[in-house]
Structure 1
């Protein structure tokens, strides 16, 4: 098949249009991510950027699937994807920032027979983890 100058122009224009659309979509995604992080910081008083190291240190990824954390494919606990859209935390506490922080620190206070262990995470660290989970 031979391409004419007009065909090449059409291909180039189509390719340029796709690249522009991809750049715009990427910009929107970045804006949404920044906005979600800002809201999560305000809700929890935590810093989501510190959470990935904490999630690894406390072994959260061994039991949970956590978005954005490589190797977090645990199947013991619930997936933590879209946690901000849920009504309850672990089916026992209303999904509110203070409840999530306290659940992360002392889950047995909400559900004495829960399989989730008390990890020794501090409240400040739990705020960072909560901010991360709400920002996703």
Structure 2
């Protein structure tokens, strides 16, 4: 799948705007734990890199990969996996849709 097509599919799946995500991921500190290509300064090594998310079977090792699960995980990971190290950042569902769109578009 080519870049534009991946972008369009990601938008359709999530209802988000991937262009807004890098600023959100910086604001909420995602790059402190994750390496995220396309997000300046996102070179964290605490958690896995956020690459090839469309090809992954699970999110956070526990939830089946779907747009709804991705958005829910971004908003409140401990609601899905109480023992996860990933914190709730305060990101809204609308903002999480943008982040999910970004991750699925890459």
TM interval, shorter chain, is: over 0.9
Map of 1:27 onto structure 2: none
Matched, 1:47 2:17: yes
Map of 1:80 onto structure 2: 50
Secondary structure, counterpart of 1:41 in structure 2: helix
Map of 1:107 onto structure 2: 77
1:88-108, CA deviations, whole angstroms, 9 ceiling, x for partnerless residues? 001100000000000000000
From 33, 43, 52, the counterpart of 2:3: 33
Unpaired runs of 5+ in structure 1? 1-30
Task: Report the Cα offset of residue 81 of structure 1.
Answer: 0.7
Number of corresponding residues: 106
From 11, 15, 36, the counterpart of 1:66: 36
Question: Greater share of helix residues, 1 or 2?
Answer: 1
Unpaired runs of 5+ in structure 2? none
**Distance in structure 2 (CA, Å) of the matches to 1:54 and 1:69:** 10
Q: Normalising by structure 1, what TM-score? A: 0.76
Greater Cα radius of gyration, structure 1 or 2:
1
Give the root-mean-square deviation of aligned CA atoms: 1.0
Matched, 1:130 2:96: no
Runs of 4 or more, structure 1, over 2 Å off, are none
- Taking CA–CA contacts closer than 8 Å with sequence separation of 6 or more, which of the two structures ends up with the larger relative contact order? 2
**Distance in structure 2 (CA, Å) of the matches to 1:69 and 1:52:** 5
Q: Normalising by structure 2, what TM-score? A: 0.97
**Distance in structure 2 (CA, Å) of the matches to 1:67 and 1:131:** 14
